[in-house]
Amino acid sequence: MLYGEPHAPRRGFTPTVLVDITAFLDDKVKALARHESQRGRWYLGETYTRLRATAAGWRLRPSDAAAGRAFEAFETPLLTLLHPVPEQE
C-alpha cells in the first residue's frame, strides 16, 4: 500500500518511494486544471503542483532534483519498517 503526500504537511510523512513524473508534469497540470472538482483548490493549482513535484526529490534524490527532475512522493509502511529513512538535521 502506498500513501501519497498530503495536501498540507502532516507530521510523520516520510517518503520512501519516488516516481519520476518529469515527462508527465505538464499533462498533470493540464488535467488538474480541466477537472471540474479540482478547480479553485490552491493546493492543486499549477504553481503549487509544480513546486511539490520539484521539492519531492530533494530528500531522496537531491542530484536529480537539482537537475530539474520532478517527482511524486509516496510512503509505504512496509518499506519504512524494513529500511527507515534517516532523519535530516
Residues linked to residue 72 through DSSP beta bridges, in sequence order:
19
52 lies in some domain: yes
Report yes or no on 89 lying in a domain. no
Q: Are 73 and 10 in contact (CB under 8 A)?
A: no
- Comparing CA positions, the residue from 62, 58, 71, 74 lying closest to residue 22 is 71
Q: What is the pLDDT of residues 19-34, one digit of tens each?
A: 999 999 999 999 888 8
Regarding pTM above 0.75, the answer is: no
The domain tally of the chain equals 1
Q: What is the pLDDT of residues 34-47, one digit of tens each?
A: 888 777 777 778 88
Structural domain includes residue 87: no
Domain carrying residue 7? 3-82
In a domain, 27, yes or no: yes
Residue 88 lies in a domain: no
